[in-house]
Structure 1
Amino acid sequence: MSARRWAGDLAMGARFALTGGREGWIRALLTAVGVGLGVALLLLTAAVPDILDARHGKDAVRRDFSLTPPKIPAADDTIVVAHVNTSWYGADIRARLVDPDGPHAPVPVGVDRVPAAGEMYVSPALDKLLKAPGNGLLRERLPAKVVGTIGERGLIGPTELAYYMGVSGLERQIGHNPEVGRIKSFGDVSDDSSEGLDPILLLLVLLVFVVLLAPVGIFIATAVRFGGERRDRRLAALRLVGCDGRMVRRIAAGEALAGAVLGLVLGTGFFVLGSQAAATVELFGVSVFPDYLNPTPALATLVAVAVPAAAVLVTLFALRRVVIEPLGVVRTARPTRRRLWWRLLLPVGGLAMLYPMIGQGGDNGDFNQYLVTGGVLALLVGITALLPWVVERTVSRLGDGGVSWQLAVRRLQLSSGTAARMVNGVAVAVAGAIALQMLFSGVQADFTKSTGKDPNRAQMEVDLPDGVQVAAAGAKLKGTPGVKGAVALSRTEYSAERRDPDTTMQLIVGDCAALREVATLPSCREGDAFLSASWSDEPAARKLLAPGRKVWVDPVYTGSSGVQAPWTVPAKLPKVPTRKNALSTDLGGVLVTPSALPAKALTALRASVYLRLDPSVPDAEEQVRTTAMGIAPLAYTWTWEATTRDEKFDTIRTGLFVGAAAVLALIGASLLVSQLEQLRERRKLLSALIAFGTRRRTLTLSVLWQTAIPITLGLLLATAVGLALGGVLMKMTAVPLRVDWASVLSMTGIGAGIVVAVTLLSLPPLLRLMRPDGLRTE
């Protein structure tokens, strides 16, 4: 068969789709909308590399210092910067204090000048937040005068909350506070993110893309088959005028090709409209500027070629068992029973590809990305092969029931393949989500560390900078609305050497009430000192705790400052047991009351105030942050958590949630289009039943049953495949096999909820179709 003949037949099919009257262009439009939604999401995925590069680039050009501030002498072209990040009801605020050393100090990225003391530049989102009614507490926390907004060049997203505030006297904190440093320019910090990902994290990234894109491909393949039954009846007329079977199949492929190409156009339009609206959308704390959404040319080209090609191939595959004759379509005859053996080849093949990596874990190099991609895709796509067989076998055994039940069951028995296609995408998405949730739950322990903090003892901590009176700060914080109690403790180190000591021991300083939060004291009065029993066997303790020995508090290290205050170890230093529910596991060593130390040593303390909050006060945390900012702009306030998770792991998980939200939106929209197409196909049948006196309630229930039965079977199959895939992935990462039933049920419930919502939205058009005048025809 020549390429010219193929092209001619495809072109004829395209003309039938676009100029074949109302029936043809309605079908083409439905196909285009379904394909277009999938194409828009594929283009969004193709833009992900550029989005990540753009956000990383924006963050790089504004970066000041990380980990440890650079050692740079003051000059007229340097500036002192302090990190004072905070939050507002869970939303992170990137905060920088700036203090220029001279008139040529570098200007922060995104602003036109360095703010003077008492001035600040804010991001547009923060400016809107500050001006909003009811946010007086935030305005109190940031009392500086707003003199401008940070431009797009200085923000990684349109909804980012950020500010630069001018202050004076920051230089005194250099060397004492690791969050304060001097720089010569912004963006000159070496990239510290080049470290390779852990093999398990790489596996998670790969799985997220595979699992999220698989349903998109399924929906596109489903969309190109919209209106298949009516199309086949039209093709029978072509056989009557002389076309052979192969020719009508190529014409049918041409119709699908026209819808797919139109879908590419609509999908591009959806993507452009979505990118323009991106600036107003924030998902899980992530927002992007419209110019970030530039699909990678190679990936965009792949989408443009693959979608029309898939439309042609899917149509030809769908027609392989349909006999189109001049007098009709042999589809209504009893179909041959579907065979199971070849449908099991896909999932079995997928398991075979994943099997060699079982037990590999994260210590044996990266997982084979080709085997992972192929194995997971084979298992997920295997659902689309198994589901028609499951639906056919199940509905063939369904028995008697009410009229609505019988109507639904008979319809499913006649077109079980169509019913399965409608829920294929949902089933694939649910199976992938279950597997990913199981894997995330299984490996999160490897990326979770204990903080040593007990949130039941204290809920917040305020770390104070040097020069702040601890007692006064503690009293002010204790009087903050929502605070039930405040414990002020300070710490420093001492050593036998005055400079660059080999061994040091921790000193915890506080009044008697504060020390009792750390250890069980037999008695205590001002001037007493104690030794934590858990530290008494430490080598440093045996060397440094000889009674009457002279030691040095806050010894100096090369390149840093220290007070070097002399102190004589007390002759009486009783051992006291650490409380089982002590404020924190790192509060130990020598416990002393303030008067037990020389006055010079008290200037070397790093003070923290531990707060217990009243859970009945909803804004207690924000009240504390505002009070702390009033005490000292460099006060660092943070909420206690028992554990902390790896930042890269959390980033991948956030990416999964963002992608899942987009896929769920596609699932809902595509299902609605598919449901409307099915109702359009049955318009005359519904009208005929109404004309014969069938109640609307009965027909509505029958349509609901036709949706409920396949989705129930699909979700059961998806749960089984998801559990199997999740179990294999957990074995691959060498984590204990454990089923997170809460996640399984929630994923299944979300899938069912989408179908229920789509069904309810399709009820109004269903009621409009149930009219006797629908029997009229031309």
Structure 2
Amino acid sequence: MNVRQWAADLMLGVRFAFTGGREGWTRAVLTAVGVGLGVALLLLTTALPNALTVRDDREAARSDVTFSGEEMPKADDTLVIARVDSDFRDDSVRGRALEPEGPRAPLPPGVDEFPAKGEMVVSPALKELLESDSGALLRERLPDRVVGTISESGLIGSAELAFYQGAEGLAPHIQSGRIERIDRFGDPEPMPEQSDPVLLLLILVVFVVLLMPVAIFIATAVRFGGEQRDRRLAALRLVGSDSRMTRRIAAGEALAGAVLGLVFGAGFFMVGRQFAGTAEVFHVSVFPSYLNPSPLLALLVAVAVPAAAVLVTLFALRGVVIEPLGVVRAGRPRRRRLWWRLLLPLAGLAMLYPMVGNGRENGDFNQYLVTGGVVLLLFGVTALLPWIVETVVGRLGSGGVSWQLAVRRLQLSSGTAASMVNGIAVAVAGAIAMQMLFAGVDEDYTRSTGQDVSRAQMEVTLPAGTPVEASAQKFRDTEGVQAVYSISEGYLGDSAKKAEWNTQLTVGDCATLRELANLPSCRDGDVFAVHGSQWDTSLDEGNMAEPGRTLYMDPSDEGEPEGLEIPWTVPQDLKAAKPRPGLVSDEMDQGGFLMTPKAMPDAFAPALDGRAYLKLDQSAPDALDHARNTAAGIGLLVNTMTWAETERSDRYDAVRTGLFVGATCVLALIGASLLVSQLEQLRERKKLLSALVAFGTRRRTLSLSVLWQTAIPIVLGLLLASAVGLTLGTVLLKMSNTPVVVDWTGVLSMTGIGAAVVLTVTLCSLPPLLRLMRPEGLRTE
């Protein structure tokens, strides 16, 4: 057979698809919609790497961090910038205070001119929030007048909350750590990220798990209207076409639907691309311009989808005998063979087995073996499910009328029923495996902060010169604040310059000091030496607690700015205290000297930094934001930090968030594609349904039969998906050298979500089903 004959037969099939009347057009459009949804998600996937790259580039372009270690001198091209980030409820707010020092000071990306003091430039999302009723609390914290918006080049996402505000007098606070002098924006020394084999394994498996259901749905969509198509092909045999030519014509019809699906997919993608500019999923947002598919990957999709349509159609027709007098499909088909279906998952396991136990110690995982192994395991679901459905429904017996109608239909077309469920089964299997893998390695990327959230939930840092006690009183008067532990901190050295021993000095009232150490007794005017601290050993090793010894507050060290070098004599009535787990961390107990306010010399005040720990009423609405507003009222440079018992790796969180975002898109595709497939199945059975109604079958019985036809394959599919998902999850955990623990809650939730999607789709298909069950459906041309 030459290429010209193949092309002619395929083109004949294309002509039949578009010139075959309403039935041909309907089938072509249904196929195009199903394929188009899959293509749109594939294009979105190919655009994700570019979107992530653009986000990283934008973040690097607006970077205002310097790593030189030396303060930059003031010039006409320098800018003093303060990081004044905040949080509002569950959202992060990126904030910067700007003080240009000359006419050539660098402008931040996305900003046309510097805001003056009392003015600010905000992102569109923040502007919308500030103007809404829900942003009333945030407006108290950001009272400056909005004079402009940050353009797209200065933001990493359309929903990002960010602002730049004008400021004055920042330069004297440059040594605080949150304020720097810069002469340009941009990451001066981008640090290459170290490779993490387990994290790369996660990324690789996430992509495979998300794309497999899409590919299966596309393969299912090109087979829409299969039974009616085969009856039309029998007419072609009657006029002289041989069986091979007939199959090629059928492949041409599928090709037409797939090519039209590419057009639909491009349209769906463009619509979804614009929608992405207004959506935020798991606190991740992008601009439409970020979602530009890689030309090479887009070309691969454009070639692979039509080619897959032809191959899938030819493969599907291999067991169908198309003769001039009809299609041999209603007779008893040959039983499906099991042996080759088991080879697929076994081959997948064989590809993954050599990497078992690698963990992080033996280099990166072989990406080809990982991809191939996961694909074969998941593809094994699509191969095994038709055999399981055929075997089970063949043994189902008597029951109600609706049950018998459903079972008989499944016995006649078990392959069609299985193909509808394949996508959801693969998605659930992959989700269970990923749930197990994430649950298993979560501890590796999560560390304890040591912060005791039962004693305090927020830490407030006060810049030098801010009255600590007055600030603490403002927090005590704040709605939702139950207790405030305020302290002032500094360092004492054993000499004024180049001290050999340095220890910490902490000033606070008795209630606060009791939270830091175990005190024998306490009254205002007491001074304590904390002996036995594991964190601050200088007091004991340097014998600094000897009464009468002269120490120096804020000593001068080589290479550091000049200290105040204030002398202080250790008092004779010094009391001894014992350390206890610190407020900030269980691993960092409190050491050094503890001093009550009356015992502190007035000369110490300029050398001390203030800090406050807040205990909040968790039941009070917006207690955190009320405290943040109070902090903003005290001063621009007052920093707040919310405590948590644990914190996770940013890269791990990014991969986890990417999985959730991708899974949301795949579930949406699953629902839409299943609905299209269900409607196509009902359309093919319109005459049969009408005939049953005409013979007196109740509509409720037919509706229940449709539910049974969906429920039986989905239950079998979810059981198979659970088994394959647990197997894949176990292998992946062993590959990452992680103890195998099954998260049964996650397994049940994944299967429940899959069942809920199918149930929702089935319920949505009931109204069209009722419209089809009319005697008028028996009319024919």
From 397, 402, 405, the equivalent of 2:403 is: 405
Structure 1 residues 203-214: aligned runs within 5 Å: 203-214=201-212
Match in the other structure for 1:747 = 750
CA distance in 1, matches of 2:660, 2:556: 48
The two structures, once aligned, show a CA RMSD in angstroms of 1.7
112-121 vs 312-321, which deviates more?
A: 112-121
Bigger Cα displacement from structure 2, 582-591 vs 684-693: 582-591
Q: Give, in whole Å, the separation in 2 of the partners of 1:757 and 1:500.
A: 73
Deviations 1:302-359 (A, max 9, x none): 0000000000111111111111111111111111221111111111111111111111
Q: Matched residues in 1 for 2:498 and 2:17: separation?
A: 83
Aligned residue number for residue 57 of structure 2: 57
The residue type paired with residue 565 of structure 1 is I
Answer yes or no: is the 8 Å Cα contact 1:388–1:420 preserved in 2.
yes
The one-letter amino acid of 2:746's match is S
Residues 568 and 704 of structure 1, relative CA distance in 2, 3 Å threshold:
same
Deviation, 1:540, is: 2.2
Q: Is the 8 A contact 2:445 2:648 kept in 1?
A: yes
**3-state DSSP of counterpart to 2:516:** coil
Alpha-carbon distance between aligned partners in 2 of 1:314 and 1:732, rounded to the nearest angstrom: 34
Q: Which residue of 2 aligns with 1:598?
A: 601
CA apart distance, 1:694:
0.3
* Structure-to-structure mapping, 1:262-341, within 5 angstroms: 262-341=260-339
Structure 1 stretch 417-426 or stretch 585-594: which is displaced more?
Answer: 585-594
Question: d(CA) in 2 for partners of 1:562 and 1:335?
Answer: 92
Paired residue for 1:216?
A: 214
Instruction: From the superposition, tell whether residues 753 and 53 of structure 1 become closer, same or farther in structure 2 (CA, over 3 Å).
Output: same
- Partners of 1:203 and 1:212 lie apart in 2 by 14
Q: How does 1:557-706 map to 2 (within 5 A)?
A: 557=557, 558-579=559-580, 582=583, 584-585=585-586, 586-590=588-592, 591-706=594-709
Indicate which of 492, 495, 514 corresponds to 1:494: 492
Q: Percent identity at matched positions?
A: 63
Whole-Å Cα distance in 1 between the matches of residues 434 and 534 of structure 2? 47
How far the C-alpha of 1:500 sits from its partner, in A, is 4.9
Q: Please tell me whether residue 147 in structure 1 is matched to residue 147 in structure 2.
A: yes
CA separation of 1:463 and 1:359: change in aligned 2, threshold 3 A = same
What is the deviation of 1:131?
1.0
Query: TM-score if structure 2 supplies the norm length?
Result: 0.97
2:493, 2:555 within 8 Å by CA — same for their partners in 1?
Answer: yes
Local SS of the residue matching 1:737 = coil
Unaligned runs of 5+ in 2: none
> 2: distance between equivalents of 1:314 and 1:565?
84
AA matched with 2:180: G
Q: Which runs of 5+ in 1 are unaligned?
A: none
Q: Say if 2:763 is the partner of 1:760.
A: yes
* Aligned-pair CA distance for 1:594: 3.1
Deviates more, 1:166-175 or 1:483-492: 483-492
Partner Cα separation in structure 1 for residue 770 and residue 535 of structure 2? 81
Secondary structure of the equivalent of 1:320? helix
What's the counterpart of residue 382 of structure 1?
380
Deviations 1:577-628 (CA, angstroms, capped at 9, x unpaired) = 4446856433500222234443333322222211111122111111111110
Structure 1 residue 774: Cα displacement: 0.6
Per the TM alignment, residue 702 of structure 1 is displaced from its structure 2 partner at its CA by 0.4
Partner of 1:27: 27
- 2 CA distance for matches of 1:454 and 1:537? 17
Superposed, 1:723-742 pairs within 5 Å as 723-742=726-745
- The answer (yes or no) to whether the contact 2:582–2:589 under 8 Å persists in 1 is no
CA distance in 2, matches of 1:320, 1:504: 84
Supply the distance in 2 between the matched residues of 1:67 and 1:414 (Cα, whole angstroms): 71
Whole-Å separation in 2 of the counterparts to 1:297 and 1:69: 43
Displacement of 1:552 in angstroms is 2.8
Please say if 1:715 is aligned against 2:718. yes
Checking the alignment, whether the CA contact within 8 Å between 2:537 and 2:591 is kept in structure 1 is: no
Corresponding residue for 1:138? 138
Deviations 1:224-277 (A, max 9, x none): 111111111111111111111110010010000000000000000111111122
Q: How is 1:92-241 mapped onto 2 (pairs within 5 angstroms)?
A: 92-175=92-175, 177-187=176-186, 189-192=188-191, 194-241=192-239
2:13 corresponds in structure 1 to 13
Of 231-240 and 283-292, more deviation after overlay is shown by 283-292
Deviates more, 1:264-273 or 1:47-56: 47-56
Partners of 1:110 and 1:217 in 2: how far apart? 40
Are the equivalent residues in 2 in contact too, given 1:503–1:540 (CA < 8 A)? yes
Offset of residue 543 of structure 1: 2.5
TM-score (norm 1): 0.97
Secondary structure (helix, strand or coil) at the match of 1:600 reads: helix
Give 3-state SS (helix, strand or coil) of 1:517's partner: helix
Structure 1 counterpart of 2:774: 771
In 2, are the aligned partners of 1:70 and 1:182 still within 8 Å (CA)? no
Aligned residue identity for 2:421: V
Q: State the Cα distance separating 1:298 from its structure 2 match.
A: 0.5
Q: Is the 8 A contact 1:98 1:167 kept in 2?
A: yes
Q: Which whole-Å CA distance do the structure 2 matches of 1:374 and 1:501 have between them? A: 63
Equivalent position amino acid for 1:293 in 2: L
**CA offsets, 1:522-550, max 9 Å, x none?**
21012322244540796523223340333
CA distance in 1, matches of 2:531, 2:18: 86
Q: Which amino acid aligns with 1:154?
A: G
Question: Which residue type is aligned with residue 567 of structure 2?
Answer: P
Partner Cα distance (1:91, 1:82) in 2 = 20
Do 1:346 and 1:379's aligned partners in 2 also have CA atoms closer than 8 Å? yes
Q: Is the 8 A contact 1:219 1:670 kept in 2?
A: yes
Structure 1 residue 510: deviation in Å?
A: 1.0
CA distance in 1, matches of 2:206, 2:99: 44
Deviation larger for 571-580 or 486-495: 571-580
